[in-house]
Structure 1
Amino acid sequence: MKLTWARTACSHPALCGVSRAHFGELLEELAPKWEATRESALCERRGGARRRAVGEGRKQRLVFPDRLLATLVCLRLGLPHAALAELFEVDRSTVSAAIREVGPLLAARGFAVPYRPGLRIRTLEDLFARAGAEGVEIRMDGAEFQVRRPQVGRPGRKAFVSGKKKQNTMLQWW
């Protein structure tokens, strides 16, 4: 399977949940923020400024548009990271890292209210306030995903054990 085919298929609104025009807007808005966050993390890890010119060094296997697509498809359909990794021809850990990086950017951006232009819900408090003002009942569900077992002695280690799945899990909240 070619990567361009996977990119085309995943960018379909039925899979990623947004129109292609909206996806383009998301790319323009989030790409600079992601690049700044990534560069900051690399600078901190290096302990200083770059030693090589921009564009030098190891190339990324999953570029930002593909990272955003993988995150949107995972959030919409709940596909396992291993399945997305097969689509994009990368390792599962690459997809997991991409979702960890892009998810908080999407959450910080907030969610637009369709019939109220300019209104964005960024936090749970905003959501509850808006629902209370409009008299709407809210029902929330958090998806569990499997995690490695936390280290011995870590505070709250027992909170990672799911009675439902009988394994170590966390709720997916961004």
Structure 2
Amino acid sequence: AYAQVEGIELRLDATEVQVRRPAAGRGGRRAFVSGKKKQNTMKATIIADHQGRTLWTDALRPGRMHDATAARNEGIAVCFQHFPEVEVLLDDGYLGLRRDHPGQAVTPPRKPNKIALPHVHAAREEARHRHSSKRITVEHALADHKRWKQLTRWTHRREVLPVTYRAIAGLVSDRTANA
């Protein structure tokens, strides 16, 4: 609602925080193994604005969950339906959201055919560069979170990580808003 009223273009991305491996014999042990990092992780999805301020962060999910699935489970797909004027810049991990919400969920352009003309490839590279230049602020926001030593590798109980992550995200967001 805030983004629609203010006319802000949002940026959404996810990051993974390494966590301790669940005890042997516990159910759901494989849920935390990330396919990307090949480690036990929890995934945090954040939304930032054009200045890199964290506007929203979700409850952390097990690392095995795909980025787009985590966004859907948090109700972001429903928000697209309620706020049709809001645009969200995403990376290639969210192609399903782009398919479901064209014009709102904006991902980098797809790669053209190998037989496409050279100017088509050049135009795609230019569009991809413009997209990543706009989206870099969410990457900076994630990097600001990871500067906190606790979020590089979480050694405490996994149940406490979501509260700690939201607290750190709030502190970082307040600091960048006042800077």
Report if TM-score (shorter chain) is over 0.5: no
Higher strand share: 2
- Kindly name which structure, 1 or 2, has the bigger radius of gyration based on alpha carbons: 1
Relative contact order: is structure 1 or structure 2 higher (C-alpha 8 Å, sep ≥ 6)? 2
Q: TM-score range by the shorter chain?
A: under 0.3
| TM-score normalised per structure 2 | 0.27
